[in-house]
Amino acid sequence: MTTEIESILVENRVFPPPADLVKQANVSGMEGYQALCDEAKRDPDAFWARLANENLVWTKPFTQVLDESRAPFYKWYPDGRMNVSANCLDKHLGTPAENRAAILFEADDGQVTKVTYKELHARVSQFANALKSLGYQAGERAIIYLPMSIEAVVAMQACARLGIIHSVVFGGFSSKSIHERTVDVGASLVITADAQMRGGKSIPLKDAVDEALAMGGCDAVRKVITYKRAGSDVQWHADRDLWWHDVIQGQSTDCPPVAVDADHPLFILYTSGSTGKPKGVQHSSAGFLLWSLMTMKWTFDAKPTDVFWCTADVGWVTGHSYVAYGPLAAGVTQVVFEGVPTYPDAGRFWKMIQEHKVTIFYTAPTAIRSLTKLSEADPKVHPKSFDLSTLRIIGSVGEPINPEAWVWYYNNVGGQRCPVIDTWWQTETGAHMITPLPGVTPLKPGSCTLPLPGIDAAIVDETGEEVERGKGGFLVIRRPWPSMIRTIWGDPERFKKTYFPEELKGYYLAGDGAQRDKDGYFWIMGRIDDVLNVSGHRLGTMEVESALVAHEMVAEAAVVGRPDDTTGEAVVAFVVLNGPLPQGDQAAAVAKQLRDWVAKEIGPIAKPREIRFGENLPKTRSGKIMRRLLRVVAKGEPITQDVSTLENPGILEQLAQVR
């Protein structure tokens, strides 16, 4: 590990919180924030106990808050029992929330469906009863491969209601990804749709499931339930396949929630690491839900009257914490969107904010950057052509938001009235960790500002010692928190090694480099490992390399990230073919073939933006690929580093030629 993380340009504009927000926010003013931080510091157990008692409904109250006896395998509220779905739905029944819209679903074609909390409760119960009648029980694992839909939320909530552990696979991932995850979790159930509709096109989903299950090792799968979304043709396996509309036929809309232990796994979600296959991040029931809910209230200042819209897909953690669970637990109305931001045109987001009167909007920097370009090129799709006056808070997640994008978002979407809430967190943290609070924190564009109360974030060196302000280092969390990852499914050793390395005093290592400025504000500087961030999604360089090498033409491959204006980072692959170096048109044709191959192996998101061919790769004398140098080559910059340790210095020149 290295602490030589270059410091970045520090922005010095400061935007104070709007006065009206300070007045009415759930956490009000710096004093309000400080009081919570002090409470958490004084007696962490008492703080986390109070939050859990005041915000969750328990079927059996806990008597212990945190069990550290097997650290880092922490247990939160170990003897408490509860149900997540009951905490999202049942608790609203018989209250004014029951007739409030829980979901405003907007389909790709613009059609809107409204579901109240009472109706959603009935739909979740009915689907849960269907699963129950098929013999599914608490502790079994279900793969969910669904488009953004009411059904996706229903499927996740129904699993939670029965204690079935779900693992959602993003609809843009390939059959190979479904296969890997199905085998790794030992799934007994798959829930999918015939197809998904995006940008006016139908993209098959069940076909990919069929392909995945035919790859072998998936014998635990008893049933595949398919939701008919597009009415497209599907293959049918009579012994295994069931239609969603058939299984819910005649099922009661009353299904008692199954109480589970606080730490019963709610879900497993796969995310990329620098080495090896994706990691199955295991999350708990109570701790995960508590922090999803608290951050709805604190970070987004959610009130029952809010219309909340998080644009993330349920295939990512953001779609777990801030679509499927947090907003429902908070009792807000939320928008769920099936389509893409550029269809029928790039004004879609703004039009939807206007029509649904969205008050809290949460999206990713990559979306902001691409819509900035399109909006500035065409006044018809510019946010200024829409009435966005209902917005109160606008959020960002997934990667550092560069100051230019921040200011554009603030001026044009937020009308210089809404704070930009730049939330730093990860799949592993379950919910927000370092973020401004709308009625508290003066904002600096590009900084995720300060840790939430109870979150002990710090920047340390390789021995775990805190570094001085202004110096770069590793971002760590020094104390456990309820929504933290519990383990990597099936690989506790990897969990320990990756997140709690011995030399770091038992701290949680986030894998990001960061620094704090003189005001204690955190500035994230990017990953310290070989993980790329493409459009706010993590991709392991190893994963893309393995996919490339799996192609018969490829002998060797190295993958690095190159800064990109729109997607944050772009994938650049350096490839050595079996056979002669391709030239001209032939090189272009092979590159295209390999890009499509990666899309098929992993998913379109992993497609290399550029492929460069060489006779070999720059390696040290011990045979290690010098990715650091390849990153420089990928940027098109001259090599100024010492290359004397290279086995084959001449190769850099060859790789630097753009073909």
Site string for ligand WT7, 248-277 (x = CB under 6 A): -----------------------x------
* Residue of the chain from 227, 270, 425, 489 that contacts ligand WT7 (CB under 6 A): 425
The residues pairing with 171 across neighbouring beta strands, listed in sequence order, are none
Residue span 288-327 as binding mask against ligand WT7, x where in contact by CB under 6 A, dash where not: ----------------------------xxx---------
Stretch that binds ligand WT7, among 161-169, 297-305, 343-351, 392-400 (CB under 6 A): 392-400
Instruction: Report d(CA 314, CA 298) in Å as an integer.
Output: 22
* Binding segment toward ligand WT7, per CB under 6 A, in 185-193, 533-541, 562-570, 582-590: 533-541
**Bridge-based pairing state of the strands 333-337 and 101-106:** parallel
Q: Is 491 helix (H, G, I), strand (E, B) or coil?
A: coil
Q: Does 363 bind ligand WT7 (CB under 6 A)?
A: no
How far is Cα 463 from Cα 476, in angstroms, rounded to an integer? 12
Task: Report the residue number, 262 or 317, with the smaller CB distance to ligand WT7.
Answer: 317
Least distance to ligand WT7, CB of residue 609, Å: 19
Question: In the bound complex, what is the minimum distance in angstroms from residue 312's beta carbon to ligand WT7?
Answer: 7
Residue type, 634: A
Name which of residues 439 to 498 contact ligand WT7 (CB under 6 A). Answer: 448
Residue 201 marked as a ligand binder: yes
- For CA atoms 296, 301, 306, 307, the dihedral sign is negative
Question: Which one, 341 or 511, has the nearer CB to ligand WT7?
Answer: 511
CB atoms within 10 A of CB 133: 12
**Residue nearest to ligand WT7 as judged by C-beta position:** 427
Cβ 421 to ligand WT7, closest distance in Å? Answer: 9
Q: What is the DSSP annotation of 517-563?
A: -TT--EEEEEESSSEEEETTEEEEHHHHHHHHHTSTTEEEEEEEEEE
CB of 251 to ligand WT7, least distance (A): 35
The answer to the question of residue 512 lying near ligand WT7 (CB under 6 A) is: yes
Using CB under 6 A as the binding rule, whether residue 398 contacts ligand WT7 is answered as yes
C-alpha–C-alpha distance, residues 488 and 283, integer Å: 9
Stretch that binds ligand WT7, among 80-88, 100-108, 391-399, 452-460 (CB under 6 A): 391-399
DSSP letters of 555-590? EEEEEEEEEETTTEEEEEEEEEESSSPP-HHHHHHH
Backbone angles phi, psi at 474, to 5 degrees: -85, 135
The nearer residue to ligand WT7, 508 or 574, going by C-beta atoms, is 508
Give 158 or 504: the residue with its C-beta nearer to ligand WT7.
504
Indicate whether 172 belongs to the interface with ligand WT7 (CB under 6 A). no
537 interacts with ligand WT7 by CB under 6 A: yes
- Residue 222 marked in a binding site: no
From candidates 424, 481, 507, 574, binder to ligand WT7 by CB under 6 A: 424
Short-list 244, 309, 287, 231, CA closest to 87: 287
Between residues 108 and 399, which has the closer beta carbon with respect to ligand WT7? Answer: 399
**Residue 401 identity:** I
Does 527 bind ligand WT7 (CB under 6 A)? Our answer is yes
Q: Which stretch binds ligand WT7 (CB under 6 A): 38-46, 109-117, 122-130, 420-428?
A: 420-428
Q: Is 512 annotated as a binding residue?
A: yes
For residue 316, the minimal CB distance to ligand WT7 (Å) is 6
Number of residues forming the site for ligand WT7 (CB under 6 A) = 24
List alpha helices for 348-442, DSSP H: 348-356, 365-377, 403-408
Q: Which is nearer to ligand WT7, 149 or 318 (CB)?
A: 318
Q: Does 422 bind ligand WT7 (CB under 6 A)?
A: yes
Stretch that binds ligand WT7, among 141-149, 403-411, 535-543, 586-594 (CB under 6 A): 535-543
The distance of Cα 205 from the centroid of its chain, to the nearest Å, equals: 21
125-133, 177-185, 187-195, 425-433 -> range binding ligand WT7 (CB under 6 A): 425-433
Element (H, E) at 516: strand 508-516
**Residues whose CB is less than 8 angstroms from the CB of residue 250 and which lie 6 or more positions away in sequence, other chains included:** none
Q: By CB neighbour count within 10 A (0-12 exposed, 13-18 middle, 19+ buried), where does 631 fall? A: middle
Residue pair 233/226 in contact (Cβ under 8 Å)? The answer is: no
426 is in an annotated binding site: yes
Under the binding rule (CB under 6 A), the answer on residue 511 touching ligand WT7 is: yes
Residue 168's SS3 state is: strand
Tokens of 151: 């059904």
Q: Single out the residue of 106, 399, 543, 545 in contact with ligand WT7 (rule: CB under 6 A).
A: 399
Contacts for 403 with CB less than 8 Å, ≥ 6 apart: 11, 13, 445, 446
Q: Which CB atom, from 412 or from 429, has the smaller least distance to ligand WT7?
A: 429
Q: Which of 524, 528, 590, 606 binds ligand WT7 (CB under 6 A)?
A: 524
CB burial class (10 A; 0-12, 13-18, 19+) of residue 502?
exposed
- Cβ neighbors of 436 (< 8 A, separation 6 or more) are 419, 421, 422, 443, 448, 449, 450
Can you tell me which residue has the tokens 């073919």? 577
Report, in Å, the least distance between residue 573 CB and ligand WT7: 21
Task: Fill in the DSSP letter of residue 411.
Answer: I
Q: Which residues contribute to the site for ligand WT7 (CB under 6 A)?
A: 271, 316-318, 397-400, 422-427, 448, 510-512, 524, 527, 533, 536-538
Q: Which residues are annotated as a binding site for ATP?
A: 398-400, 422-427, 512, 527, 538
Q: Which residues are annotated as a binding site for CoA?
A: 198-201, 318, 535
